[in-house]
Amino acid sequence: MLEKIKQEYFDRSTQIILIDKENKILDSDHRLFKLKTGTYLHDFHAFFFTLLDAFESDEKTQYFPSIKFEREGEDLFLDVNFTRESDDKASIILNDCTKYYKDLHQIYQIRNESILKYRISEENNRVLEEQRNFKNKFLSTISHEIRTPINAIKGFLEILTLTELSQEQLDLVNIIQNSSNNLISLIDDLIDISRIEAGKLKIDSKRFDFKAMISALEETYSLKCREKGIEFKLAIPKSIPQYLVGDDLRINQILINLLENALKYTTSGYIELRANIKKQTSSTIDLKFEVQDTGYGISDKEMENIFIMFDRLKRGINVEGSGLGLSIAKQLADLMNADISVASKVDEGSTFGLDIKLKISHNQSKSRKRKSKSLTELEPDKKFRILMAEDIEINQMLIMKMFRTHPEYSLDLAKNGEIALRLIKEREYDLILADLTMPIMDGLDLTHHIRTSENPKISKIPIVALTAHASNDEKEQTLAAGVNAYLVKPVNSALLFETVAEQIKKSKRSRK
Q: Which residues contact ligand ADP by CB under 6 A?
A: 261-262, 265, 293, 295-298, 302, 306, 312-313, 321-327, 350
Nearer to ligand ADP, 79 or 302 (CB): 302
Q: Quickly count helices (H) and strands (E) in the chain.
A: 16, 17
Q: What span, in angstroms and rounded, lies between the C-alpha atoms of 409 and 386? A: 7
Least distance from ligand ADP to the Cβ atom of residue 377, Å: 46
Residues 6+ apart with CB under 8 A from 330: 307, 340
Least distance from ligand ADP to the Cβ atom of residue 331, Å: 11
Nearer to ligand ADP, 297 or 353 (CB): 297
Least distance from ligand ADP to the Cβ atom of residue 204, Å: 23
2, with CB counted inside 10 A (0-12, 13-18, 19+), is: exposed
Strands 339-345 and 349-360, bridge-based pairing: antiparallel
Least distance from ligand ADP to the Cβ atom of residue 295, Å: 5
Nearer to ligand ADP, 265 or 289 (CB): 265
Least distance from ligand ADP to the Cβ atom of residue 293, Å: 5
Other beta carbons within 10 Å of 29: 14
Angle (CA) 282 284 287, round 5°: 125
Q: What span, in angstroms and rounded, lies between the C-alpha atoms of 13 and 88? A: 27
Least distance from ligand ADP to the Cβ atom of residue 265, Å: 3
Short-list 179, 241, 123, 191, CA closest to 470: 191
Short-list 446, 435, 440, CA closest to 481: 446
Strands 409-414 and 431-435, bridge-based pairing: unpaired
Least distance from ligand ADP to the Cβ atom of residue 262, Å: 5
Nearer to ligand ADP, 25 or 313 (CB): 313
Nearer to ligand ADP, 243 or 265 (CB): 265
Nearer to ligand ADP, 25 or 328 (CB): 328
Nearer to ligand ADP, 186 or 234 (CB): 186
Beta bridge mates, 432: 387, 463
User: Are 94 and 65 within 8 A, CB to CB?
Assistant: no
**Residue in the shown chain whose Cβ atom is closest to ligand ADP:** 321
Nearer to ligand ADP, 113 or 231 (CB): 231
204: DSSP letter: P
Least distance from ligand ADP to the Cβ atom of residue 185, Å: 10
Q: Find how far residue 421's CA is from the centre of its chain.
A: 37
Q: What span, in angstroms and rounded, lies between the C-alpha atoms of 184 and 180? A: 6
Q: What span, in angstroms and rounded, lies between the C-alpha atoms of 469 and 148? A: 10
